[in-house]
Every structure is written in structure tokens, then in C-alpha cells.
Structure 1
């Protein structure tokens, strides 16, 4: 059977699209896979090293569990970090709010000698 150029182009286009879709779906499946233990160890070691707390030679001597513990400590520390400027504004707002809530009246001093 002889196909014209238009039919051939249409078939190639359809095949090309399905091939692209197939490759995209395969790459998406690969991205969904969790990291292996060695990949995770490398990731955590690089994180600890780049934070400036550890050297690579020190990390190579540690076991995976020890690296994971140190990594978790550092991530918790980074997550709970609050900048000083934000702390100051919270404190200022808190004091400002207290002043609005509490109404104080000035009292005149009464000397005991006069009374």
C-alpha cells in the first residue's frame, strides 16, 4: 500500500506525540521514586557540610543513623529560626497591644502631712 506524504506526516506526527508522552510518563515515574539510602546519605552529608558545621572527612566516618540524627537536629534548628528583627517587631506589637488594652488613670499624690 502506497501512502501519500500527507498521510505519512500525519502518522509520524501521531507516533511522535505518543512517543513523547511515553517518555514524559516514564520520567515522571522516575521522579516519584524515593531516594535510595546512599543518595539520602550524600544529600544529608552535603547539607551538613554546606551549613558549615561539619567537614566531609568527619561525615565519612559516621554511620547513616548518626548522620540522620545530626541532619534532623540541624533541620529542626533551621525551621525554628526566627530573625531578630521579627522578634523585635513582635515585642513592640505586644507592648503596644497591652497599652491599648489596659487603661490607667493618673492619681494625684496626696501628702500625709497636709491631711
Structure 2
């Protein structure tokens, strides 16, 4: 109960990765940015790249595979790579670099 009470105080701590990335990219458009935190799969990575990230870091999503085997880690990244390829295709981006120019629509935004 004690640990839970301590942890609950931090439930709203910090800035969501997408919000931080958007604000940083607007303030420093030429600065290379690394998105990390909450990147669960290739779709999250694609969104981060489209919002201006130069690199994407993944930890929690990989740790489960890492405790299993090297082949599980390789399988995880094979899925991430395929998800990135599909995201590029769906946005008409020929590469991850081109994904930075993809048009994004936030959920709830009107066109």
C-alpha cells in the first residue's frame, strides 16, 4: 500500500512524449531530437519520426524479448521494421526521412 501511494502521486508527472516532441520540434526545428518513452511499436516510432524525431529509442517493449532470447529480440525488431515499412507506404513516404514530411492529423482534429 505504501509503495502504491507513493507511485500514485507521480501518475500525472512529466510531459507525454508526443507533446514534448511537438513543442521541442517547433522551438528547435533544426535540432536532432531523440524520442523515447512510450514507444511500444513501429507505429509509435513512425508517429515520432513524423513529428520530428531524428531517432527513436525503445526500452520497455524490448525488455520482455531480451529476457527470453536473442532471437526473440530479433523477431521483435523484425515486426517493428515491417510496421515502419507499412507506415511509410500508408503515408506515401518513400523512406523514413520522407516520413518527416508526412501530413499528420491528430485525433479529434477537424480537417
Instruction: Name which structure has the greater RCO, CA cutoff 8 Å, separation 6+.
Output: 2
Larger Rg: 1
TM-score by length of 1: 0.24
Question: Whose helix fraction is larger, Structure 1's or Structure 2's?
Answer: 1
Question: Whose strand fraction is larger, Structure 1's or Structure 2's?
Answer: 2
